[in-house]
Amino acid sequence: MGALQNVLAVIVVLGLLITFHEFGHFWVARRCGVKVLRFSVGFGKPLWSRFDRHGTEFAVAAIPLGGYVKMLDEREGPVAPEEQDRAFNRKSVWARIAIVVAGPLANFLLAMVAYWLLFVAGTSTVAPVIGNVAPGSPAAQAGLASGQEVMAIQGDKTRSWEDVNLELISRIGLSGSLDVSVREGQSTEPRVHHVSVDNWLAHQDPPQPLQTLGVTPWRPEIPAVLGQVLEGEAAAQAGLEPGDRIVAVDGTPIKDWLDFVERIRNRPGETLALRVERDGEFRDMGLMPGSREAEGETIGYIGAGVEPVSWPEEYRREIRYGPLAAVGQSVSRTVEMTVLTLDSIRKMLVGLISPSNLSGPITIARVAGDTARSGMESFISFMAYLSISLGVLNLLPIPVLDGGHLAYYLIEAIRGRPVSEAVQAVGLRIGLALVGTLMLMALYFDLMRL
């Protein structure tokens, strides 16, 4: 069921992003007087199609990993004399630039709309309050302590642990001082602590900002009470039920849920003696965890989840803006994530970030499914970031991508004449090789993550 949800989620996300991207090309092409022959979402044989009154075929094809807008163009076939003025290649270089740029811009616009909806509807998060600081860690040496709330990093506000992680990751490669602003309680003024770093997070695979800093987020105590038990898994086979509280394992008392999880992870395939409290009565039962591979090691797995706990009100944060204020916030967040994506690409090229962080269709499907199960807020946020990534990727100056065509047209605008067909043919081969290599690398790292 989980795999099916992942597939459905990624089809919805990619379908929407591709449709928006191609609609950008389509809409501007129509406004520039170019005849559009086909608007296709997906590649391969059309599963459905219809023609509009302008003669444009709208199609949904079998392979949902892209799409295209096919325009009338004399370079791709003969064009009737009466329609030559509607051919793409006959338009001015500035019209062609506008048509090419429109696709990625549509993705950025979609991200802004998604963030606007989130900011207007309001997002719930928890304050980034420090739980523990590892002795001798950079955080401990800088004077950070348990109970402090992280207010800003390098002057940029942080309202959640997601913000903290993004700010820390965006500083990969930093040497010198990492300024962390914190406050004690609700009433005190923030104070800046200077964390000494040298080539911050460089070459980590994957980057672990909080662990490297030496900070563990504060969390409420989570009792070892089962909230869900999956049918057919080890927990269900042992007779465990939702609401059961795990009191002890092999005679050793269990402190909390994390303590129980750690014992399960470390004992795959071994029979454990459980003491369980159910409806005020204590029961003894045996449990043999199954096993699964995670990060290169075999861990125990029983197919059970924890009963949710409520966060104290003072740790909860509601981020909400009015319709007008949300416009500025959505633009700011889109620009911020675009800059972060571009900077990550740069750092990958210079070797500060490992290429293994590339993600392909398998990882995208898994994350799409996970965020869909987490709720609409997470799903929309993921879709917005993926839309930004698609926009940035398409603007890279690689032939076969929109950015490659844009580079050719900019050169034409400067020189006054188009780039030769021979040069474009060579660029096409190079671009196909680059994109093909990136796709194979992303797929390889996807499989390694499995």
Residue 130's Cβ-side half-sphere holds a number of Cα atoms within 13 Å equal to 25
Q: Which two tokens stand for residue 251?
A: 């005679």
- Indicate if 83 belongs to the active site: no
Q: Cα angle at 349 between 160 and 393, to 5 degrees?
A: 70
Residue whose token pair is 């003491």? 275
Per-position DSSP letters for 141-195, written without gaps between them: HTT--TTEEEEEETTEE--SHHHHHHHHHTTTT--EEEEEEEEETTTSPPEEEEE
* CB-CB contact of 182 with 174 (8 Å): no
**Catalytic entry in 22, 82, 270, 281:** 22
Contacts of 271 (CB under 8 A, 6+ apart): 286, 287, 288
Pairing of strands 148-153, 272-278: unpaired
Q: Cα angle at 356 between 350 and 362, to 5 degrees?
A: 140
Distance of CA 248 to the CA centre of its chain: 39
Q: How far apart are CA 327 and CA 322, in angstroms?
A: 9
* CB-CB contact of 124 with 317 (8 Å): yes
Catalytic residues: 22
